[in-house]
Amino acid sequence: MLKILFPDFRFDSITQIHRNWLREQNIYNLLLDVDCTLKNYRSKMVEPDIAGWITRKREQGFEICLLSNGRRRRIQPLAQELDLPFLAPAYKPFPSGCRKAMQLLYVDPRFTALIGDQIFSDVLAANLAGIRSILVTPLQPEEEPIFARVKRPFERLVLKLYDKKSL
């Protein structure tokens, strides 16, 4: 039962996910969570190293779409700055947002992954949608609204179980 909460892969940062590794996993399409994955929650800008990572992935031929539970008016300027399609609000953990984002990109779920920082929204949405889930360590989680922070202790518990399973 808990398996649906386990990410397929884990990284400390999105910038550690390299082209060759993605291709080895047959991942060519990326759905990217925004808050605490690409930028601090309160920031209006993506971290420069992460913006560079996104640019390189696009140049390397990856299809990318932003997928956020944030409001459209908050995510749209960021998507325009990055010149990326987006879906907001995505209503994660429901899988419909992942499916709509894949339709926007015209991509196959077999070659798609969602990268995000939250188990109970990003990982669960990806797993329910039948795509790979990549969990990254959140950027500045203490800035998140209370409804997001309250889930973090439960996520740590799930990750302890995940780590035990991986041993």
Residues 30-53 have pLDDT tens digits of: 999 999 899 987 888 898 999 999
* pLDDT at residue 130 in the model: 97
pLDDT of residue 55: 97
Q: What's the pLDDT score for residue 167?
A: 47
Please tell me the predicted confidence (pLDDT) of residue 42.
81
Q: Which of 114, 87, 91 is nearest to 100 (CA)?
A: 87
Pair of tokens at residue 141: 């989680």
pLDDT of residue 86: 98
Beta-carbon-side half-sphere exposure of residue 63 (alpha carbons within 13 Å): 16
**Nearest C-alpha neighbor of 1 from the set 142, 115, 127, 137:** 127
pLDDT over threshold 80, residue 2: no
pTM over 0.85? The answer is: yes
DSSP 154: H
pLDDT attached to residue 145: 58
Provide φ and ψ at 154, rounded to 5°. Answer: -70, -35
Report the domain count for the chain. Answer: 1
Position with higher pLDDT, 157 vs 65: 65
pLDDT for residue 152 is more than 80 = no
What CATH number is attached to the domain comprising 22? 3.40.50.1000
User: What distance lies between CA 13 and its chain's CA centroid?
Assistant: 11
For 9-21, how does the pLDDT look when each residue is reduced to its tens digit (9 = 90+)?
A: 999 999 999 999 9
For 132-151, the pLDDT digits (tens) are 999 999 876 566 556 666 66
User: Taking all residues of the chain, what is their mean pLDDT, rounded to a whole number?
Assistant: 90
How buried is 89 (Cβ within 10 angstroms: 0-12 exposed, 13-18 middle, 19+ buried)? middle
- Give 163's pLDDT tier (boundaries 50, 70, 90): confident
- 106 lies in which domain range? 2-166
Q: Is the pLDDT of residue 162 over 50?
A: yes
